[in-house]
Copies of this chain bind each other. A is one copy, B any other.
Amino acid sequence: MSIYKEKNRKTKELIQTSFIKILENKTFESITVGDIAKQAQINRGTFYLHFIDKFDLLDQIEQQLFADLGNRIDELQSNYSSTHTFEKEQEQLAATLFSAIKIQSPLLKIFLSDHGRAGFHLRFRAAFSEKVRLNLEKNESFKATLEVPMEYFLSFITSAFLGLIEQWVQNDLDKTPQEMTTLYINIISFIQQTNTKKV
């Protein structure tokens, strides 16, 4: 009974990995169920025993990706006490995000490229936007000093962060998560300098 499930799971996984492999070289739009079956060396009908269609397949992989990232982030964050300063905590969250993303970078690189599916960058931002918001709102003076709508600030900062991630994965991880964190902090500091001079 349990080996039946195991076999089922294994085939499903085979289909997923085969699909991702094709996705490296072909656009999602251009991939057919026949392509996937051929790559996985299974019957085309078998595909339909595991997924409704290729959209369902991609959806499930995407959901798994977000769930996995969420788990990794929560686990990494739980290792740190939150008695640090507000800024240290922001830095810590950044480090956690970069570490989690590194592990899933092969998939993220594809999903964020033009081989993926439209709107992924929005769903990805939404997936970790809530964690960022909670972290920011820990700080009491934050909401008091913030003069712009929270949704705009969140869009700004999560999108900025996504920009770094996109450059990073396109560069095939040319830096360590710690270096990326430093780079992030440096950019924030640099923006500070620019404006300080103005005033």
A198 to B85 alpha-carbon distance, docked (Å) = 8
A118 to B113 alpha-carbon distance, docked (Å) = 7
Are A160 and B166 touching (Cβ within 8 A)? no
Contact of A191 among B162, B188, B198 (CB under 8 A): B188
Chain B residues lying within 8 Å of A162, measured Cβ to Cβ, are 159, 163
A147 to B193 alpha-carbon distance, docked (Å) = 12
User: Does A71 belong to the interface (CB within 8 Å)?
Assistant: no
A183 to B151 alpha-carbon distance, docked (Å) = 12
Chain B residues lying within 8 Å of A193, measured Cβ to Cβ, are 145
Size bracket, chain A contacts: 35 or more
Chain A contact residues: helix, strand, loop or mixed: helix
User: Does A87 belong to the interface (CB within 8 Å)?
Assistant: yes
Chain B residues lying within 8 Å of A8, measured Cβ to Cβ, are none
A150 to B191 alpha-carbon distance, docked (Å) = 14
Which A146-168 residues have C-beta < 8 A from chain B?
146-149, 151-153, 155-160, 162-164, 166-167
A119 to B28 alpha-carbon distance, docked (Å) = 12
21 A-B interface contacts by CB (under 8 A):
A28-B118, A29-B29, A86-B194, A87-B194, A112-B122, A113-B122, A114-B117, A117-B118, A118-B118, A145-B190, A146-B190, A148-B183, A148-B186, A155-B164, A156-B187, A159-B162, A159-B166, A160-B163, A188-B195, A191-B192, A192-B195
